[in-house]
Amino acid sequence: MDTRAFKRSLHHSERYNRRGFGLGEQVAGSLEQAYQSDLIAGLRDNGYELRHGRLTVRLAEAFGFCWGVERAVAMAYETRRHYPSERIWITNEIIHNPSVNAHLRDMNVLFIRVEEGVKDFSEVGVGDVVILPAFGATVQEMQLLNERGCHIVDTTCPWVSKVWNTVEKHKKHAFSSIIHGKVKHEETLATSSFAGTYLVVLDLAEAQMVCDYILGKGDREAFITHFAKASSPGFDPDLDLVRVGVANQTTMLKSETEEIGRMFERTMLQRYGPAELNDHFLAFNTICDATQERQDAMFSLVDEPLDLMVVIGGYNSSNTTHLQEIAISRGIRSFHIDTPERIGPGNRIEHMPLGGDLEVVAPFLPEGPLRVGITSGASTPDRVVEDVIRHLMELCGN
C-alpha cells in the first residue's frame, strides 16, 4: 500500500479533520474546570515548592499535560460540541489517563470494543464520527473508516506523525526500520503500519541482539523466533538488516533511544566501514520535545534530597513508566499511581511497582519532616496532581 498517497487522499477528504472546529473558546471553560488547578499554578509561581506543616512538596519543573495531549483533548471536546447528536467513537483511549477517558464517556463518546486484543469496528456505521487518539491509528484502521464513510477527527500528535514520516523515508530508500518501542503499544502499532520492513526492539538488550546478528554473532532461527511478533511479515535478518534506519515510539526513554541509535551506527561502521556507512544506516531525530523535557526535569528532581517520590499517570502510559524508572535508578523510594484515590484511607497507598502488579503499602508516609517529590506523565491533568497533593497534606496534618 502506498501510505503516502493514501494520507494525501485522506487529508483532502471533506470527511477528514485534523485542525479542530474553531470552537476553542466554547470548550475552554469545560476544559479549565475539568483539568486545570489554581494550587498547581501557585506552586509554579513559588519555585515548584509547597510547604505544609511537616510536609515539603517538590514538583518537577516540567510535568503533566504536554501540548500534543492538550490539543487532542481539546479537539475531542470540540468534536462533541460540533456534533451534538451524532454517534461519536474513539478508536482507543484518547490519552493514557483514566480520568480524562471517563470524562469523554460522560460526554457519550463511545470506545471501540477490544476482544482478545482485536478491535471490533462492526458497530461503527456510515456517517458516524470517529476520533483518532493522540497516539494515532494504524493506516489499516484509517482506510477501513474512510471506506465506511465515517467522519474522521484526527488528533494524532504531530510528533507521532513525524515518526511516521521517518519510517516512510526509510521505506522509500529501501531501509528497514528499527523501531525502539513497545510492540503492543498503540503508537508503535501505528508507526509500524506506515513502515515497510521493520523490527521493533524494546530496550538496549534487544538492540544488542540485533547488532550482534549484523556482525555475524547470532543464530538465525533463534533470532527469527525471538522477534516473530515484533517484525514485519517475512522479515529475513540476513537480507533486511543490511540497510537500517532508526526511529522510536515518542514516549520511550530519551537516553536509551539515543544509545540505540549510536549502537547501530557503530555496528554499521564496523560492518561496512566509514565510506559505505551512509548506504547502510539512516538516523533522524524523532524524540518528542515534551518527553525529553519531562525526563530532564525528573533527572534534576531526583538529584535533590527526597524521602520519597510519587509518579502520577496511567499504568499503561509509557512516558510515565519511564519517569518511574528514573526515580528507581537513583534508589529513591517511589510509588506510581494512576489516580488520587490510590492514597488512603489512612496512611496507605495502592501503587504499581515497576514491572509488577498492584500492591498496597501501609504505613505509606514515615513520621517526622518529609520531602516528597512529585511528577506526572504527559497525559495527567493538573487537577489530578492537585488532588494527590491534597491527599498528602491531609495525611501529614497541620
Residue numbers annotated as active site: 187
Reported as type and span, the H/E element at residue 268 is: helix 254-272
Reported as type and span, the H/E element at residue 247 is: strand 244-248
Q: Give CA–CA dist 210/319, Å, rounded.
A: 24
Please choose, from the candidates 151, 159, 3, the residue with its C-alpha nearest in 3D space to the C-alpha of residue 80. Answer: 151
Reduced to 3 states (helix: H, G, I; strand: E, B; else coil), residue 345 is coil
Please choose, from the candidates 100, 59, 93, 65, the residue with its C-alpha nearest in 3D space to the C-alpha of residue 290. Answer: 65
Q: Give CA–CA dist 191/132, Å, rounded.
A: 14
CB 374 within 8 A of CB 388: yes
Q: Give CA–CA dist 129/151, Å, rounded.
A: 5
- Report residue 229 as a C-alpha cell: 511478533
Q: Give CA–CA dist 121/114, Å, rounded.
A: 9
- Report residue 177 as a C-alpha cell: 526500520
Q: Which residue reads 541509535 in cell numbers?
A: 261
Residue 231 is classified by DSSP as B
Sheet holding 176-180, edge to edge: 198-201, 176-180, 244-248, 281-283
Reported as type and span, the H/E element at residue 178 is: strand 176-180
